[in-house]
Structure 1
């Protein structure tokens, strides 16, 4: 079977942080990996002082710069098919603020043309066309809360979920291509157990700055998923270097001396080389002794 995987993410860098190792592993084994990014990430914080002038409150040219960052990241992962929903610049980054409860949320003044304010059917039709062209057996996106509440992540979840349904309906927009039913849909996840183990090792080693404020013995909030709800584990430890290189390519968003790169090789592999998923559409394939799939294409012929 010719394997095809489609990932739907909100901003450049989300894909590398969340599924970079998985993308690199599947691309290396010959799977057709397609990435759809919904915005250019125009509202992102600029971490490189020399590029601060690109920020949205200055020259507002960060989006065009992040197109190049994404292209460079995809080269590191070996992914040759990456697109922007509706074309680059169709939907603008909606920005976010931190809610008093600790999660991200939409700000009071969301600009016109942002992804959060996009017409759901219009945005979905753009993705339906891609789904019908690519014909993926597996689609990966965020959960209903966008992992931590970012409005663009939530909207990406909505668009991806709606697109899977409409792409399979042969009477919906036949001009967008023949109907296609995505066999398996996954939401990316972070294992609660694995995250706690990694944090414990970091704290035991005297590192109190990486994931500052997160206590391995306390509630980790929206960032993790209880292991009882995990369905798949992709061991891509051989591709940690590619994932970290892809993250470095997003230079305006991820500081190379920040928490992503402060991890020791051992803890870093555990936290970043193994990626977890929740199966939300389709039939679970063969599993290991823990009840987890080790291949997102498990059970597909």
Structure 2
């Protein structure tokens, strides 16, 4: 087993498989410790399976319990054995969201009392400080300050993760939560612009409808990151991508993996989702590969970081 450890902080079940499934699988295969923290159970997510629509929060409810099971199944596909809910299951609820006229997500008005968006920042961060000091990761992965597309729970997960990383390193802070630990490198999730555009063009050229509002030759706005701003790329092998797809498929209420995006013979889905991109938010960039990007999130670190 490696003495390296990777910590990922996500808002809801399924976020981890979509954004980091290949990365998690790669490091599991290398014997790296991988810990996933989900901040909510996604209680207010959409339900894509007609026979499970009764689980929606505005009907019978129970979607969070179901998605908890989906998450466990997804982690089994990726080989991740350490996955937790921030503060324990049920501490924070999915806040839901609304759409701004500009096309990004915002916080909605109809939120439960324990909505993650309304959580006390220090209280939520302290839950994560305890985990950081327990597993002592060298690398942390989370969202950028906009939550990639504005979802309030993604934004809050970013705030909690970044604040907790600071607090966990303070020598005099809350020693009841464990011995201080500084995370050497922090990455924010990104979608590389050129890869996304190529995938959208392939869909269009195959006669399939591209994602609503996404013109492969137009302005993709906050959905993508310019290639020159990327710092790292983790490229999955075919076997690792297959496991990522299996993990996405396990989140059946949230993700449709069997549509044309993944089924086309030109492997459009794989072209986009088999490579996962990151921006370095803390730490020093390590050696890069042929594309000018790190190919290892631990690049530049010694085998063991105290």
Shorter-chain TM-score: what band? over 0.9
- Once the two structures are superposed, the pairs formed by residues 123-202 of structure 1 within 5 Å of their partners are 123-202=124-203
Say whether 1:235 aligns with 2:235.
yes
Cα deviation for residue 237 of structure 1 reads 3.3
Cα deviation for residue 264 of structure 1 reads 3.9
Give the 3 Å change call, closer, same or farther, for CA 111–7 of structure 1 in structure 2.
Answer: same
What is the TM-score normalised by the length of structure 2? 0.95
Q: Measure, in 1, the Cα distance between the counterparts of 2:7 and 2:63.
A: 26
Aligned length: 300
Q: Measure, in 2, the Cα distance between the counterparts of 1:264 and 1:234.
A: 23
Q: Which residue of 1 aligns with 2:215?
A: 215
* CA offset digits 1:114-154 (Å, max 9, x no partner): 00000000000000000000000000000000000000000
Look up the SS of the partner of 1:148 in the other structure: coil
Q: Measure, in 2, the Cα distance between the counterparts of 1:188 and 1:12.
A: 16
Q: Which runs of 5+ in 1 are unaligned?
A: none
Q: Which residue of 1 aligns with 2:10?
A: 9
* CA offset digits 1:138-171 (Å, max 9, x no partner): 0000000000000000000000000000000021
Q: Which residue of 1 aligns with 2:47?
A: 46
Which piece of structure 1 moves more, 26-35 or 103-112? 103-112
- Once the two structures are superposed, the pairs formed by residues 28-39 of structure 1 within 5 Å of their partners are 28-39=29-40
Give the 3 Å change call, closer, same or farther, for CA 279–117 of structure 1 in structure 2.
Answer: same
Q: Which runs of 5+ in 2 are unaligned?
A: none
Cα deviation for residue 262 of structure 1 reads 4.2
Cα deviation for residue 289 of structure 1 reads 3.6
Q: Measure, in 1, the Cα distance between the counterparts of 2:266 and 2:181.
A: 42
